[in-house]
Amino acid sequence: PSSHVSLTVNGERHSVTVDNRTSLLDLLREHLGLTGSKKGCNAGACGACTVLVDGRRVNSCLTLAVRLEGAEVTTVEGLAEGDQLHPLQQAFIDQDAFQCGYCTPGQIVSGVGCIQEGHTGSAEEIREWMSGNICRCGCYVKIVRAVEQATGRK
């Protein structure tokens, strides 16, 4: 069975009909062509698919699209303003906080959430509140530095 759902993604309204089992991640990647959010584990364990739903961080691979009627979704594609990178995107570049880049969109969206939630009091706190985002390349120290930079602490 499929259902109709209307939601806003990066400020743009979309109305789509999707299979009831479609995840938000598949809706973004396969129906809306937004492939920035990555599919790592597809099981809630890596954070590569992290997006904001109504301002909160979620694993989009575990979120059913049909439950998002009226929701506001922000993906990594929605963070920059025109030519201006989001401060955390710029910080990832400045701090050299990625290697292969596969985890990076999820790290950045999660970092934006972490900053908005105010969990940035120390490097340890950032590390803890970003712990759902796995980096196989082991860039954690630089990722934390990037979040600190965007918070204005570095």
Contact with ligand FES (CB under 6 A) among 19, 45, 69, 131: 45
Structure tokens at 41: 């584990």
In whole angstroms, give the CA distance from residue 147 to residue 18: 35
Q: How far is the CB of 120 from ligand FES (least distance, A)?
A: 20
Contact with ligand FES (CB under 6 A) among 14, 64, 99, 154: 99
Measured from the Cβ of residue 3, the count of other Cβ atoms closer than 10 Å reads: 15
Contact with ligand FES (CB under 6 A) among 12, 19, 41, 153: 41
Contact with ligand FES (CB under 6 A) among 39, 119, 127, 154: 39
Residue 40 engages ligand FES in binding (rule: CB under 6 A): yes
DSSP 29: I
Contact with ligand FES (CB under 6 A) among 4, 44, 117, 122: 44
- Give the total of residues touching ligand FES (CB under 6 A): 23
SS3 81: strand
The nearer residue to ligand FES, 4 or 77, going by C-beta atoms, is: 77
H or E segment to which residue 127 belongs: helix 123-129
Q: How far is the CB of 51 from ligand FES (least distance, A)?
A: 10
**CA 65 to each of CA 20, 70, 105: distance values in angstroms, whole numbers, following the listed order:** 7, 11, 20
Stretch that binds ligand FES, among 39-47, 73-81, 84-92, 114-122 (CB under 6 A): 39-47
In whole angstroms, give the CA distance from residue 88 to residue 130: 14
